[in-house]
């Protein structure tokens, strides 16, 4: 019977020995395109945990409608733009208050020769509001002192106290302020002096609480109204749910627990309740077996009584996470473990935009070949002037950042501007193959009927020079992308003008990724000798040849050994020559006219 041998082995016994190996080349990596990622706000859904969505219906299934302040339109616009997959992440975290914050404070001084702090003022709420304090004599009576708490131009509270000759101003103010709803006064030291006045001073600001979201809850009772089971919603958030517990209409030996949102049943949970059964145990057992997409159950108290029938009752809602810059930073870090092409975010906040750029640059250096879109509003109360938008776009100066500088309006009158327009463009970039462009005819905006602002030819030229992507209209009044560019305006020493174009950056990123995906599995499996390096060259040229055939690279693209860096030990150096194909975007026609043909009679 044939047995196996390894290379170089010499067997002791006579016989037939075999081995096998792959003498073909590994498969070439294909295109990994069409995936967006987005971070957004919602009042329901997993917090800080990415969800891979294959179509727009997954958004509502996982996150609902987002709530009044939700921004689930961000992944929706990515699908509308052409994304085939979206890795979505709801901003925030769960777990309630993580930091209670601190109150604003101020030490009121006396009017002694050497002023001394005599009263500590402490706000009752923790926040960073810029409060001010006025202490002085009343304009109507010089014997009456006033302490006014101010916020901007608003006078929030006035405390009056006796400042007549011989009055105890320190004790009088503390006593008068005992009923304040906004602050407390605490004696530091009683110097017996009058208070320093008049004075208007800022309070030392406090800090806002840092709040993570909390889950909604409901206590299921037995028919004696005793709580027996705690129902806790699966995700934190303020989304309103209600509950119904009733006998099944189809089976008298079963009971249904219904979870409703806006009177629509979102989950129907059944459990056995035949005569004599312990219904509490039955419900808990059914939940442990079936699980739920909306809640968890915790036993409060054993009971032999039937579970109370509930026609309809509200579940106490949870709270939404507080969203700040730290929430975006945490979300970006979580997304790093997924493969995607373009990132969109749900804010026009320039501080978050800069954080996003730093993140994209960092992961790019680590081997993620990705881009991101940002935007600022062109109309409305928060509109950013055109000149400022151009200045912001050119300031990024980055082929990984696409700045969307204006917006459009759709058939229903909905305005797509700022981050919302940028989300649409992110889907368009990810969903457009790298052998096509999003410029003009390749970047038609479905459903758009007009622009948010009129721009002149001179405006479009300046926007292009500033690295600002804009929308324009065709001769047929179709809204399309004027020029598929990124924010790179000043070329670095290793950059050519092709890096300014989204299409060509996509081709280059794709070449990076496909070469990596093809050759990386060989690390540690082949020798660093001429045969091993030839295998790498064959595979690299196979990738280049495939991209030539796909009309992404011009013929002649190739990989070869780097003659200036000969191989050493476990290292080898290679050169990749590639000319990526640009789209036809500018045509120059010279018309040759004459009065009559030369051979005219």
184 pLDDT tier (thresholds 50, 70, 90)? very high
What are the residue boundaries of the structural domains of the chain, listed by start? 31-95+321-490, 101-202, 215-314
202 pLDDT tier (thresholds 50, 70, 90)? very high
d(CA 255, CA 578): 68
Mean pLDDT, residues 218-243: 95
pLDDT at 349 over 70: yes
Between 157 and 600, residue with greater pLDDT? 157
Please write the tens of the pLDDT for every residue from 110-123: 999 999 999 999 99
d(CA 394, CA 490): 9
Please write the tens of the pLDDT for every residue from 483-518: 999 999 999 999 999 999 999 999 999 999 999 999
Please write the tens of the pLDDT for every residue from 440-485: 999 999 999 999 999 999 999 999 999 999 999 999 999 999 999 9
Q: What is the model's pLDDT at position 5?
A: 82
Q: What is the model's pLDDT at position 197?
A: 87
Q: What is the model's pLDDT at position 210?
A: 62
Give 214's DSSP letter.
B
Query: pLDDT averaged over the chain?
Result: 93
d(CA 314, CA 333): 36
Q: Examine domains 101-202 and 215-314 and report if their fold is the same.
A: yes
Q: Which of 370, 313, 310, 298 is nearest to 339 (CA)?
A: 370
Q: What is the model's pLDDT at position 128?
A: 86
Mean pLDDT, residues 226-232: 96
Burial class (CB in 10 A: 0-12, 13-18, 19+), 210: middle
Two tokens, residue 186: 């605490």
pLDDT at 95 over 70: no
Please tell us whether the domain made up of 31-95+321-490 is placed in CATH 3.40.630.40: no
Taking phi first (over 0 means left), then psi (-120 to 50 degrees means alpha), and beta for anything else, what does residue 21 get? Answer: beta
DSSP code per residue over 48-117: S--EEESSTHHHHHHHTT--TT--THHHHHHHHHT-SEEEEEE-S-BSSEEE--BEEEEEEEB-SSS--E
Please write the tens of the pLDDT for every residue from 378-422: 999 999 999 999 999 999 999 999 999 999 999 999 999 999 999
Q: What is the model's pLDDT at position 21?
A: 78
Q: What is the model's pLDDT at position 428?
A: 98
Please write the tens of the pLDDT for every residue from 525-547: 999 999 999 999 999 999 999 99
pLDDT at 368 over 60: yes
Specify the CATH class of 215-314 in words.
Answer: mainly beta
Two tokens, residue 129: 């509001």
Between 409 and 100, residue with greater pLDDT? 409
Segment among 151-160, 204-213, 400-409, 427-436 with least mean pLDDT: 204-213
Give 321's DSSP letter.
P
Mean pLDDT, residues 286-300: 95
86 pLDDT tier (thresholds 50, 70, 90)? very high
Specify the CATH class of 101-202 in words.
Answer: mainly beta
Phi, psi of 86 (to 5 degrees): -130, 125
Highest mean pLDDT out of 94-98, 272-276, 597-601: 272-276
Residue 259: CB partners within 8 Å, gap ≥ 6?
Answer: 241, 242, 243, 265, 266, 267, 269, 294, 295, 315
Two tokens, residue 294: 């909306």
Two tokens, residue 178: 């005992």
Q: What is the model's pLDDT at position 211?
A: 62
208 pLDDT tier (thresholds 50, 70, 90)? confident
231 pLDDT tier (thresholds 50, 70, 90)? very high
């Amino acid at each position: 019977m044939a047995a196996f041998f390894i290379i170089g082995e010499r067997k002791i016994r006579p016989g037939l020995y075999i081995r096998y190996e792959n003498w073909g080349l590994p498969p070439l990596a294909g295109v990994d395109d069409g995936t967006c990622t987005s971070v957004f706000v919602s009042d329901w859904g997993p917090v800080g945990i990415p969800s891979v969505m294959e179509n727009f219906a997954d958004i509502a299934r996982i996150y609902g409608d987002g709530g009044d302040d939700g921004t689930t339109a961000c992944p929706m616009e990515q699908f509308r733009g052409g994304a085939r997959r979206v890795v979505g992440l709801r901003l925030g975290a769960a777990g309630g208050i993580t930091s209670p914050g601190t109150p604003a404070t101020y030490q009121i001084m006396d009017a002694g020769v050497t002023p001394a702090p005599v009263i500590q003022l402490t706000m009752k709420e923790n926040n960073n509001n810029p409060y001010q304090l006025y202490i002085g004599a009343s304009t109507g009576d010089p014997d009456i002192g006033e302490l006014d708490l101010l916020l901007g131009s608003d006078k929030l509270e006035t405390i009056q106290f006796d400042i007549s000759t011989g009055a105890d101003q320190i004790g009088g103010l503390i006593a008068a302020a005992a009923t304040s709803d906004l602050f407390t006064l605490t004696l530091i030291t009683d110097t017996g002096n009058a208070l320093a006045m008049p004075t208007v001073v800022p309070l030392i600001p406090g800090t806002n609480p840092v709040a993570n979201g909390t889950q909604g809850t409901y206590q299921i009772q037995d028919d004696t109204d005793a709580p027996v089971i705690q129902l806790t919603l699966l995700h934190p958030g303020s989304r309103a749910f209600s509950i119904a517990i009733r006998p099944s209409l189809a089976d008298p030996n079963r009971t249904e627990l219904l979870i409703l949102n806006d009177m629509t049943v979102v989950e129907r949970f059944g459990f056995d309740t035949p005569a004599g059964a312990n219904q509490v145990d039955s419900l808990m057992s059914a939940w442990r077996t079936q699980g739920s997409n909306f809640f968890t159950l915790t036993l409060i108290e054993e009971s032999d009584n039937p579970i109370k029938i509930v026609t309809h009752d509200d579940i106490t809602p949870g709270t939404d996470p507080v969203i700040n810059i730290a929430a975006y930073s945490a979300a970006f870090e979580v997304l790093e473990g997924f493969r995607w092409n373009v990132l969109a975010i749900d804010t026009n906040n320039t501080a978050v935009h800069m954080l996003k750029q730093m993140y994209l640059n960092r992961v790019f250096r680590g081997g993620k070949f990705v881009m991101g879109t940002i935007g600022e509003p062109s109309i409305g109360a928060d509109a950013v002037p055109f000149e400022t938008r151009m200045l912001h776009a050119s300031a990024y100066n980055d082929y990984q950042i696409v700045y969307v500088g204006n917006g459009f309006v759709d058939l229903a009158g909905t305005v797509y501007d700022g981050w919302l327009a940028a989300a649409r463009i992110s889907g368009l970039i990810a969903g457009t193959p790298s052998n096509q462009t999003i410029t003009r005819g390749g970047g038609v905006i479905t459903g758009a009927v007009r622009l948010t602002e009129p721009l002149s030819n001179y405006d479009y030229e300046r926007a292009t020079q500033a690295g600002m992507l804009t929308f324009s209209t065709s001769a047929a009044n179709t809204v399309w992308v004027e020029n598929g560019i990124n924010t790179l305006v000043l070329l670095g020493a290793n950059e050519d003008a092709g890096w300014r174009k989204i299409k060509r950056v996509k081709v280059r990123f794709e070449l990076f990724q496909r070469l990596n995906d093809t050759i990386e599995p060989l690390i540690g499996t082949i020798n660093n000798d001429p045969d091993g390096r030839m295998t790498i060259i064959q595979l690299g040229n196979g990738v280049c040849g495939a991209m030539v055939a796909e009309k992404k690279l011009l013929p002649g693209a190739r990989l070869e050994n780097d003659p200036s860096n000969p191989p050493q030990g476990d290292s080898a150096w290679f050169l990749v020559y590639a000319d990526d194909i640009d789209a036809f975007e500018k045509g120059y026609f010279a018309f040759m006219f004459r009065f009559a043909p030369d051979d005219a009679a």
